[in-house]
Amino acid sequence: MITIVQRFEKIQSKITSLKPKKSVNIIAVSKTFTLDHIKPLIDHGHSHFGENKVQEALTKWTDQRKVNQNLKLHMIGKLQSNKAKDAVNLFDYIHSLDNQKLADTLAKHQNNLNKRLKYFIQVNIANEMQKSGIPVGELDAFYNYCVNEINLKIIGLMVIPPADQEADKYFKSLNILNKSLALENLSMGMSADYLEAIKNESTFVRIGSSIFGSRS
């Protein structure tokens, strides 16, 4: 039976074979999995893990962070403003910055807590009514507000392409938008499409089931 570490190393090998232009960080999406299930990958030396619910992440990672200073935790799910303080306390990266109220709340809490997180702006690149994200037409203004008015460290853009369409064209579009803002990082690509994302210069890929197995 293939182990979690073997699955992870297989993904690493596939990424290396692409000879990406930039270094690629694998975010092991550990949401819903217990710490015992994840532990072999931590013990292997991997440091980047992703969660989509603040409360679950607090329960799972608070004690672990005290004994492992190398961990880098990524909030990859929808973040409500009322959870922003806890998110700032726990996470290093937030990939789902998608509205001004949330931006203002995060800025306030990180100033109060004397922390400086790294942020990705989530872009609703296909203008899907049911999906969060900043519309493309509002991206420049939102980016400038976050950087110049409230001093958030924006390191790149994030996208989740429509599930029923080819992801490649959306990855290409986000890469163009990212370069127009002179940003260095891109958060795009999951288990099903991370190789396409990397071909379009993604630097953070979010991979869960291909590492940890299917969720119950």
| Domain membership flag for residue 183 | yes
What does the alpha-carbon distance between residue 67 and residue 82 come to, in Å, rounded to a whole number? 28
| Domain membership flag for residue 63 | yes
pLDDT on residue 216:
60
Residue 153 identity (one-letter amino acid): K
Stretch 17-41: mean pLDDT: 95
| Domain membership flag for residue 36 | no
pLDDT on residue 101:
97
Stretch 205-213: mean pLDDT: 95
What does the alpha-carbon distance between residue 207 and residue 188 come to, in Å, rounded to a whole number? 10
| Domain membership flag for residue 8 | no
| Domain membership flag for residue 198 | yes
**9 pLDDT more than 80:** yes
What does the alpha-carbon distance between residue 153 and residue 134 come to, in Å, rounded to a whole number? 17
Q: What is the pLDDT of residues 48-101, one digit of tens each?
A: 999 999 999 999 999 999 999 999 999 999 999 999 999 999 999 999 999 999
pLDDT on residue 214:
81
What is the average pLDDT score of the chain?
Answer: 95
How far CA 46 is from CA of 28, 42, 120, in Å, comes to 9, 5, 21
pLDDT on residue 111:
95
Cross-strand partners of 119: 94, 154
pLDDT on residue 41:
97
What does the alpha-carbon distance between residue 182 and residue 117 come to, in Å, rounded to a whole number? 19
Stretch 173-182: mean pLDDT: 97
| Domain membership flag for residue 106 | yes
Cβ atoms 159, 122 nearer than 8 A: yes
Give the residue among 208, 163, 214, 204 at the shortest CA–CA distance from 20. Answer: 204
Give the structural domain span for 87: 51-212
| Domain membership flag for residue 55 | yes
| Domain membership flag for residue 121 | yes
Query: In a 10 Å sphere around its CB, with 0-12 CB exposed, 13-18 middle and 19+ buried, how is residue 17 labelled?
Result: exposed
Question: CATH number, domain at 173?
Answer: 3.20.20.10
Stretch 35-46: mean pLDDT: 96
Cβ atoms 77, 57 nearer than 8 A: no
Count: domains in the chain: 1
Q: What beta strand segments (E) does the chain contain?
A: 25-29, 48-51, 72-75, 93-97, 118-124, 134-135, 153-158, 185-187, 204-207
pLDDT on residue 131:
78
The residue behind tokens 């190393």 is: 9
Q: What is the pLDDT of residues 100-146, one digit of tens each?
A: 999 999 999 999 999 999 999 999 998 877 778 999 999 999 999 99
